[in-house]
Amino acid sequence: MHILVVDDDVRILRFLRSSLTLAGYDITTTTSGEEAIRLMESDEPDIMLLDILMPVIDGFEVLRRLRSYSDLPVIVFSANEYASEEALRLGADYFVVKPFIPDELVTIIKKVIAQRGEQAD
């Protein structure tokens, strides 16, 4: 499974790349919302992990644009727990408050993918 991880904090990207690779996932990372939108077409990820607070194009805008043409599963994460309502309204499948435990994130990824699979049946 291929995961696109979007966060402007390089330390978080390194942490997630390491944790999710150990869990068996193929990971692409970017620090830019704009690049995330481009990578959606070229990398064809199975799921996106998306931070909200980023410069230039924030996670809300990435989600708005993504939902205009794709139903890709998206897990949004942010230190701002109050962003959850807006993220879910814009079409996020799940919201995770930072900081989080990598094993919990892996469980959430599996849950979202399973739910999407059930909806397709």
Q: What is the pLDDT of residue 94?
A: 97
- Domains of the chain, by residue range, sit at 2-120
Class of domain 2-120: alpha beta
- The pair of three-digit structure tokens given for residue 51, joined into one six-digit string: 């931070």
pLDDT digits (tens, 9 = 90+) for 65-85: 999 999 999 999 999 889 999
List all residues 6 or more positions away from 117 whose beta carbon is below 8 Å from its beta carbon. none
Do 63 and 36 contact (CB within 8 A), yes or no?
Answer: no
Do 51 and 10 contact (CB within 8 A), yes or no?
Answer: no
pLDDT digits (tens, 9 = 90+) for 14-61: 999 999 999 999 999 999 999 999 998 888 899 999 999 998 999 999
Do 22 and 3 contact (CB within 8 A), yes or no?
Answer: no
**From its phi and psi, is residue 91 left (phi > 0), alpha (psi between -120 and 50) or beta?**
left
- State phi, psi for 42 to the nearest 5 degrees: -85, -35
